[in-house]
Amino acid sequence: MMHAVRWTGAALLAGCCLSALAREPAPPLPLWELGVFGGAATTPAYPGSNDRSTRSLALPFLIYRGEVLRIDQSGIGARLARTERTEFDIGLAASLPAKSSDVSARAGMPNLGTLLEVGPRLKVNLVDPSPGSRIRLDLPLRAVVEVRSGARAQGWTFEPKVVYEARALDGNWTFDTNIGLVIGDRKVNRYFYEVQSQYASVARPAYEADAGLMLVRVGASSSRFINPDLRVFGFVRYESYAIAANRDSPLMERKNGMSAGVAFAWTIMRSSQMAR
């Protein structure tokens, strides 16, 4: 679906790690890399929540830079078409569940399950302002499927985003910043922000959610190679819900939220074959 729906610190941290690893510091690169990453991140429990999720983790990672199959920060994808300025792919990603017992505003309501996100994405390279940098437009459309005692469709999202990427000429530093927004249909907004009558209370009145804007986000991340196998990096993200379609939901407790994390990645194995 979108990075915004990866509510937990673990999922955001994993996305940041893979983003830094997949960003191309200097060609050529191995066809695949295998290793471990670890770190810590803090995020809102869900967009608009007063509760926070702080996680630390250590997990294996795999980067694969195939001509069609790609495994990177966007999940698992199939690149169907590519030109000098554009790329079109179909992506698959996942987000972690959240227990309502851990979130005061959702106490007594159904848990937020594991979400699978699948759909097409168009990437357009707008301009290369200087050597080692570029400005890109991402246009992903994602169907959302909840996996919890079966599979259920939970709507779709659209996340247009402008990304600026840069790397140092020696390849040791990378940096990116982005600004975008997330738009959801009525079903996915209901999933996060609707309060049905059986879950209503004096403190949490019933609410019927609408389709529309979910959030506006600004983010930045940076990474540095300590040596060819070890990399450290961090990220920060700011989200605004002040003009969200469901800002009046009792589950929308805040007008903004911040996320941040630091991590490392250690490559244990890499292919001798280079990616094309």
Residue 226 in domain: yes
Q: Which residue has the higher pLDDT, 163 or 45?
A: 163
DSSP 104: G
Residue 67 in domain: yes
What would the DSSP string read from start to end of 229-246? TEEEEEEEEEEE-TT-TT
Query: Is 129 buried (19+), middle (13-18) or exposed (0-12) by CB count in 10 A?
Result: exposed
Domain that holds residue 256: 3-269
What would the DSSP string read from start to end of 162-221? EEEEEE-TTSSEEEEEEEEEEEE-HHHHHHHH-B-GGG--SSS--B---SEEEEEEEEEE
Phi, psi of 252 (to 5 degrees): -95, 90
- Per DSSP, what are the bridge partners of residue 85? none
Percent of the chain with pLDDT strictly greater than 70: 88
* Alpha carbons 89 and 249: distance in angstroms, whole number: 35
**Token pair 């690893």: residue:** 21
Q: Which residue has the higher pLDDT, 15 or 247?
A: 247
Residue 245 in domain: yes
Q: Which domain CATH number covers 224?
A: 2.40.160.40
Which residue type sits at 21? L
Residue 268 is predicted with a pLDDT of 95
Highest mean pLDDT among 47-61, 96-110, 258-272: 258-272
Residue 276 in domain: no
- Paired sense of beta strands 161-167 and 133-147, if any: antiparallel
Confidence of residue 23 (pLDDT cuts 50, 70, 90): very low
Residue 275 in domain: no
Residue 51 in domain: yes
pLDDT at 221 over 70: yes
Residue 274 in domain: no
Query: Taking all residues of the chain, what is their mean pLDDT, rounded to a whole number?
Result: 85
* Alpha carbons 252 and 72: distance in angstroms, whole number: 32
First-residue to last-residue Cα distance in the chain? 28
Residue 7 is predicted with a pLDDT of 37
The alpha carbon of 253 is separated from its chain's Cα centroid by a whole number of angstroms, namely: 22
Report the number of distinct structural domains present in the chain: 1
Residue 167 in domain: yes
Confidence of residue 8 (pLDDT cuts 50, 70, 90): very low
Positive or negative: CA dihedral 24, 26, 32, 34: negative
